[in-house]
Amino acid sequence: MSGRRTDTRQRIQQVALELFSERGYDKTSLREVADRLEITRPALYYHFKAKEDILGSVIEDLTASMDELTAWAKDQPRTTEGREAVLLRLAALLTHQWRPLLRFAQVNQGAMDGVPAGTQMQARMLGMMSLLADPDGPPTEQFQAWLAVISLLIGTMPFIVPSLGDQERTDISLAVAKKLLG
């Protein structure tokens, strides 16, 4: 039973993010989320009382996975291979698990400012960007490490070279990021 509740909760998060990205956060109602899911509003309210709760839960899940990545990355050697392993894991998360929230954030920046978890997400993203930079390295290398992460983020944006599919854009952004890491 608890597995079913978790599945419903995840479906609500996924569909809400899709609607928020399509229609805008402010223009999407919980009724529309329930309709798209083909569930009753009381069933939706059982999991989330407001759309702010949905967004907050999605961001909390994201920040938890960022914390896991950060903890894992800190245990990796500061070698080229270790940094590339961190980059590959980050690229996989950006491409799959985090893509819907990143797309939402690109379209609904104002909504992210109004949610406390949005501020936490921004802080964690900056922390992750510094994982690839050697704090004792020359500024040029530190900057390249930051640009490598930015390259991966750009790879999630469908309006960047719209003629490319998601996978092509991701592959290109990863190749550029690897070059930047040297």
DSSP string, the chain: -HHHHHHHHHHHHHHHHHHHHHH-STT--HHHHHHHHT--HHHHHHH-SSHHHHHHHHHHHHHHHHHHHHHHHHTS-SSHHHHHHHHHHHHHHHHTTSHHHHHHHHH-HHHHHTSHHHHHHHHHHHHHHTTSS-TTS-HHHHHHHHHHHHHHHHTT-TTSSTTS-HHHHHHHHHHHHHHHH-
pLDDT tens column, 7-33: 888 899 999 988 988 888 889 999 999
Residue 78 lies in a domain: yes
Short-list 153, 165, 159, 158, CA closest to 87: 153
Flag whether 165 is in a domain.
yes
pLDDT digits (tens, 9 = 90+) for 64-85: 888 899 899 989 888 888 889 9
Instruction: Indicate whether 26 belongs to any domain.
Output: no
**Tokens, residue 150:** 């930015």
Decide if 56 is inside a domain.
yes
Does some domain include residue 72?
yes
Q: Which residues contact 125 (CB under 8 A, 6 or more apart)?
A: 66
Mean pLDDT by 10 residues, the chain (182 residues): 68 90 89 94 93 87 87 88 90 82 76 71 77 85 90 85 90 94 84
The whole domain housing 81 covers 52-181
* Per-residue pLDDT at 4: 58
Indicate whether 33 belongs to any domain.
no
The domain tally of the chain equals 1
pTM tops 0.85: no
Give the pLDDT of residue 96: 79
Residue 8 in any domain: the answer is no
Tell me, yes or no, whether 59 lies in a domain.
yes
Cα 126 to the center of its chain, rounded Å: 13
